[in-house]
Every structure is written in structure tokens, then in C-alpha cells.
Amino acid sequence: MTIELSLTDGLTNTNYAPLAALSAHYQQNQRLGPLASVQVPMRTRVFSPLDKLIQVLLSIFAGCETLYEVNSKLKQERALASAWQWERFADQSTLSRTLDALTLTNIEQLRAAVNKIWRPQSQMLRHDWRGYLWLDFDLSGLPCGPQAQESQKGYFSGKKTPLVAS
């Protein structure tokens, strides 16, 4: 499978093109295959329980903080759904019912599946822990420029740090 991204004038565009490319990569390498081991006790109507678990994962990747956001963010994304050979995404209530149906055994199966998915990709497992791990954070409250990465105006209680003229 070749992954190709391009701009079109048609109505088949998606707001989640990077997620569509990631989806194609995951399918090509069968990255989410371990999720098939989660045997959710539900009937398959339009979507299988595996499809619904994948859709929950995609909703997280798409920035949905809660499942009710699926209807507004992903429900209309037919191009992204077609990357997974679906006509559309499931309704948030369908996804919620699937998660509600998980038993304790299913949750253990899901935990094991997620570990099988992330462990091969983990850089933490390859870190040489014999050396130091340097953490750099600044609590001085000094002003930063607008180009500073992730900069935000914050609040520091107590004495302000004076600017030093150079």
C-alpha cells in the first residue's frame, strides 16, 4: 500500500489528513491487530466491536476529550472513515455502549493489547537508565519572548524576579 497525500478540488477532503496517513500506516503494518484479542460480548450490526474500539482510539487521536465530541468532529468525516473501509463513523452513543459493555476480563484484554501496541514503539524502554536523566524546567518567572516554544503568560505568587539590564 502506498500512502499518497495531495490537495483536491473535490468534496472528499478531510480535516484529519495526517490521521488518515497514520491510519494507512497502522493498517499496512497491522499495528492495531492486538485489539482483535479483546472479545467484547456484543452483536455486530453496522460496526464490529473491534471497529468501535478503533474508532474510540481515533477519536482520541483526533483530539476528542470526551466521546460526545465524536458526533461533531468525526461523524461527517467520510474520507477518514473510508481509510478504514467504513462508510462513516459510529455515533457517540454506540461507542459509549461498547465501552459500557466491557467486562473486567475485557479491560484486562484491552490493557494487554495496548501494551503489545505501544511497547515496540517505546523509546523509554530503550533508554540507558545507568546515566542521568536531565529534566530542565524553569520556575523563575522570567519573561520570555513570543517565539518561545509553548510560552504562556503565567502567575507566580510572591516576589517578582526583576529584569537585569545587560
3 state SS of 70 = helix
Question: Does some domain include residue 24?
Answer: no
Residue 93 forms part of a structural domain? yes
For 111-137, how does the pLDDT look when each residue is reduced to its tens digit (9 = 90+)? 999 999 988 888 777 778 787 766 666
Domain ranges, residue 110: 48-121
What cell was used for 86? 467504513
Other beta carbons within 10 Å of 54: 20
Count of the separate structural domains present in the chain: 1
Domain membership flag for residue 25 = no
**Prediction pTM value:** 0.69
Q: Tell whether 86 is covered by a domain.
A: yes
Q: What does each C-alpha distance from 16 to 33, 77, 136 come to in angstroms?
A: 22, 8, 33
**pLDDT tens digits for 62-109?**
999 999 999 999 988 888 898 899 999 999 999 999 999 999 999 999
C-alpha cell at 126: 530503550
> Is 136 within the bounds of a domain?
no
| Cα separation, 28 vs 68, whole angstroms | 29
